[in-house]
Amino acid sequence: MVKPLARRRQESKFQRASDGSMTLLEHLHELRGRLFKAVVGILVGAVVGWFLAPWVLNQMIDPYCNLVPPDSYGRCPFNQTAPADMLILQMKLALYIGLIVCAPIWLYQLWAFIAPGLHRHERRWAYAFIAIATPLFALGAVLAHFVVATGLEFLLQFNSERITTTLEITNYVGFVTGLMLLFGAAFEFPLIVVLFNLAGLASGKRLLGWWRIAVFLFFVFAAIATPTADPFGMSFLALALSTLYFGAVAFALVNDKRRARKARAAYGDVGDDEVSPLDAGDLDPIAAGDRVEPLEPVAAPEPVAAPKPLTRRYDDMT
């Protein structure tokens, strides 16, 4: 079966990029095309996100609206300080939704540009890392939404009956989205630990020996990075990071055992610092070689004749 012409061109282009025969100008042209396709995909996703933005906004403000009584018109007590705040906010939410909805498009364009520079086993590990990183980021974002609801419930308990609590809508949404990004990025830390183990930089036993320092650093990071003053957000983030760290350590221990079994199958029971034994009984004796005759001495070179004197009557041109 003959392959389509476009597919053959794509395969040859991938092959040329992987073997290094593509020129720098061709790489720049390919990068421009990939970026253009990614931007078009994000714009299409932003158009879809424009219609989903009101629903997403309602989901984000629900934790606060469920805790604060509505105003006299039955609305959630939020303020806007400028006439265009809601328009700008909806545009931002549409862009965020477009990035999420069209993530397969721009991630594929990024991957198609990077993949030719990777080996086959590196591409296989990259697939696994992407498949794990996506649900981890989503899990962190969901946990951030839960932390916002719990933290607001704790903080609003200290309000006085004589004070009306109102929040500025853009600051509130920026706070929630920032917290979701923070939790999502923090949940990617176990992948870094696994990457260190796969690269041979840290063994599972060494990572397990560092668990006290790791847990302490997780709580310090959570106390600094969590913007709320309540203890719930800090505790949830630190405990979640600690759990993911121990999961990464368990993977590292299993990977070390698998690597040790492969090493024993290839090299036997000889340790890294031991010399492999040699059975001299099965070796044939080496016979003496022929005698090498001495070489004749090299004659002394003849003396070099002295140069003739230059004629001073003429210059270099004549």
Give the tens place of pLDDT for each residue, 77-113: 778 787 888 888 888 888 888 888 887 787 777 777 7
The pair of structure tokens assigned to 218 is 């997780």
Q: Which residues, in sequence order, are CB contacts of 20 under 8 Å at separation 6+?
A: none
Q: At residue 176, does pLDDT exceed 80?
A: yes
Position 277 scores a pLDDT of 62
Q: Residue type for 204, please?
A: G
Mean pLDDT is lowest, of 20-29, 233-242, 246-255, for 20-29
Q: H or E stretch including 203?
A: none
- Contact present, 138 and 181 (Cβ < 8 Å): no
Coil, helix or strand at residue 56: helix
- Please state the length of the chain: 318
> DSSP letter at 317?
-
Quote helix, strand, coil % in the chain, to nearest 5.
70, 0, 30
Predicted local confidence at residue 1, as pLDDT: 45
Report whether 113 contacts 34 (CB < 8 A): yes
Provide the β-strand partners of residue 168: 79
Average pLDDT over residues 124-137: 78
Burial of 234 (0-12, 13-18, 19+ CB in 10 A): buried
Residue 206 has pLDDT above 70, yes or no: yes
For residue 2, the model assigns a pLDDT of: 46
8 pLDDT band, cuts 50/70/90, is very low
C-alpha pair distances (Å), 179 with each of 61, 78, 172, 174, 218: 14, 19, 11, 8, 16
The overall pTM is greater than 0.75 = no
pLDDT of residue 265: 65
Residues 241-291: pLDDT tens digits? 888 888 888 888 888 888 777 766 666 555 556 666 666 566 677 777 788
Q: What is the pLDDT of residue 5?
A: 47
Alpha helices in 20-119 (DSSP H): 24-65, 85-101, 103-114
pLDDT for 171: 84
Segment 12-35 shows an average pLDDT of 71
The terminus-to-terminus CA distance of the chain in angstroms comes to: 78
pLDDT digits (tens, 9 = 90+) for 290-300: 888 888 888 88
Q: In the chain, what percentage of residues exceed pLDDT 70?
A: 78
Q: Which residues contact 16 (CB under 8 A, 6 or more apart)?
A: 22, 26
